[in-house]
Structure 1
Amino acid sequence: MFDTVSDEMIKKGECTDIYFVRTEEILEKEQVNPVVSMEVTAVALPDSWGIVCGLSDVLALLEGVPVTVDAMPEGTLFYPGEPVLRITGRYRDFCRYETAILGFLCHASGIASATAHIMCEAKGRPVYSFGSRRQHPSIAMMIERAAWIGGADGVSNTCAPKGMPVVGTMPHAMVMCFKKPEDAWRAFDRDAPTAVPRIMLCDTYCDEKTESLNAAECGATAVRLDTPRSRRGNMRAIIEEVRWELDSHGYSRVKIFLSGGVTKEDVIAYRDCVDAFGIGGAIANAPVVDFALDIVEIEGKPKAKRGKRSGIKQVYQLVCEKHRTLPVGQTPPANAAPLIRQYIVDGRIVKQSDMQEARERVLKWIRRSTETTEEKKEPGKKNGKNGSQKKPTAVPKA
């Protein structure tokens, strides 16, 4: 009905590039079917590092296929050129799955990576994924799962996997269904479940300052500014004016929530004067990680095409947290931790991918990254455009 491919077709390998089907047919006629090891790597990344995501779908796809799969756990940080997943088996047995394998990993890793980079820049400010409407609805669950693993504090789509907060405020359409914004805000305050924070959308008809003050009078715990880019002008001036007026009228506890085309650069620019961010396209439409799946070994012997390093490899995390890639079997550095683990043996899943564990890996990295940044600052150094860095404060979930 909706121009989507069914789970059954993907599982059967029927969603693939045609040349894999032709390759399979020719190899079968020629009775060629070598045991190969293939590794997934990305020569370049959208940013300096990425986050592995999408492994759970790869495991579901290859369960029952006579292959062995080794991979970095989801939520692991990786760098260009490092193998994040390896498949070993007879080539014809999994040839046609390459398209789906890369699709799972490229898309989800792109979203998780972009989210993690945004979270690092938010410096403790809550960030929520509001972007599932920017993608086909059939993949909403994947988008929200990847954003959650990437560290987002909540997601907006009702089809998100269980175990994460599903959050959201009000649309302009709801405000416009009433005669005036105040009627909408009061109705929301009366009728929304008590557990839902009273975050009011404040830029439908009037300027942000006027609507924010009126919303505060109607019981808002936070005001959401979703100003279109065509009307923004100096967004920092708008935010600071709203903050000033709220404070001067006795509403210093009312928070400011910014959404509407927010990018990582916006988070950096406004994190000192905004309490939380709702981010859409910068997460859901994040650049994919350009992974490739290449043969590195045939019948136990190292072999690779031009531009690729032959032989199966292990990636180690050193004590200093840097990575080193070495051929499997070579003595690793002292106290180094191997990052590639076994998940499937001869078609049988021996280890599942846990979404919450994956998220915690990313959150630990974000915390370390933030702490390292703070430690590098000179004592007493000021931040932000207008003085010292504002200490992050709790903001109600959207």
Structure 2
Amino acid sequence: MVTGLMNNKQFKKLKEVNPVLFKTVTSLFDELVQIRRDLRKHPELAFQENRTSSIVAKYLKSWGYEVQEGVGKTGVIGILRGQEEGKVIGLRADMDALPMPDEIEEEYKSIHEGVAHTCGHDIHTTNLLGVAKVFSLIGVKKGTLKLIFQPAEEIGDGAKAMIEDGALENPRMDMMAGLHVAPSLRVGEFSVSNAEYSGAAVDIFKLEVSGKGGHAAHPHLAIDSVMITAQILVALQQIVSRQIDPLDSVVLSIGQINGGTKGTILPDTVTVNGTVRTLKPETRKEMEERIRQIADNIAAAFGGSCKLTYDYSCPSVKNDDAAKQFFIETVTDIFGHEAIQYSNPSMGGEDFSYFSQEVPAVFFRLGTSSGEATSYSIHNTKFNGDEKAMLYGVAIMSCLVQSYLQKEEW
């Protein structure tokens, strides 16, 4: 049984508002902990989530769901149809782990060296399985519940792969919701973006700056690709500070520069790898154009040339106004106004964005911290969220499903 929650003011309100859901969710806690620890112990990288997806499919089948496997390579979809026709709500969880060590001091730490659930996707997956179990017990009267267990979020390809495999259809969803753990929030707290976008579009670029190699003692006989690169990099930062509206969030960062073999040799070429993060689609397009213009012109001015390779990865995560307001109302109804916080958009990426571009959606954060041991940030080797957070995650998503399918209109 769950300790510490029965007297919790927020959770007691859930008992008052929805006693059946309260009883159902709390009764699942021990089973959810067991599932989550098993997933934490056996993490799998992007598009390698074979064991995880097999476990998910097995549970869904045993609970009476229609199950589609191998969607987007290793994705799984579970569908539970109500007694009557109605709207379709979709919930999504990502399943993949990160290529990094697991340094938690628990018996359920990763058994796979260099692979760990340090972004909380084990919690996400377990949380959605909890929702699945809830509705296998209490049923769906009207409408359809569609659960999407997605691979490969960490490389930004999983959602797109599932969509290309038909995840949006059969049945088509009318609304979607997704969440991410947040160790910056306490257990029992939720946050949602105060703007139209929840997360940034992620683009990757590469510059190949070409000059003419030569002896460092005779730079006038060469075309110095290193110096050209330096001029380009300084100028690129002027895009953000001088050419983009200060109220329009943009990040341009350089993470890698390669060139040369020795300090006395001017290299023929220098390569630069970086990333651009934007919120607005029009700004996203503008950034590529400005980077190309600056790089080409500066390189030409010094007698060199520059090739830009620009890869549009995930789009920005868009929160539908009605879906976001519905989420806020649901949180306040069952947990109170103090449970919801409003945050600025994150400039980090999240490929739930592909779903949010196609279906009215809301993406929110679930608090997982209850002290020092559970406060390590995601992507930290010691990240380990408080498992009681799953009760809040299961409860809020279950309430979203119940309320949405019962609503005649937004």
TM-score under structure 1 length normalisation: 0.24
Looking at secondary structure, tell me which structure has more strand per residue. Answer: 2
